[in-house]
Amino acid sequence: MHLSDLQAKDIVNINDGKKVGKIIDCDISLDGKINFLIIEEKRGISSFLTKDLTTSIEFRQIKKIGTDVILVDL
């Protein structure tokens, strides 16, 4: 699987069912393991003027990678 395959999927929090955002980057260790994903958070009207809306999700927080969605436990 390529990073571009993951970037096409929505990130959804399993605790409330809300979309978190989309993957824009990732941090990979020297031995090739993904440490965390960098997510561009879903923008709403109230956050329209905010510049930096990114967050990171540790790889251990990913519960399931489906065909269209990645489920995370936040």
46-67: per-residue pLDDT in tens? 555 555 578 889 989 999 999 9
Tokens read off for 36: 């965390």
Over residues 22-31, mean pLDDT = 90
CATH number at residue 29: 2.30.30.240
Calpha distance 35→23 (Å, rounded): 14
Contacts for 31-40 with beta carbons within 8 Å, 24 or more apart?
A: 33/59, 34/59, 35/59, 37/6, 37/11, 37/62, 39/11
Number of domains in the chain: 1
For residue 56, the enclosing domain spans 3-72
Q: Is residue 26's pLDDT more than 80?
A: yes
Q: What is the pLDDT of residue 48?
A: 54
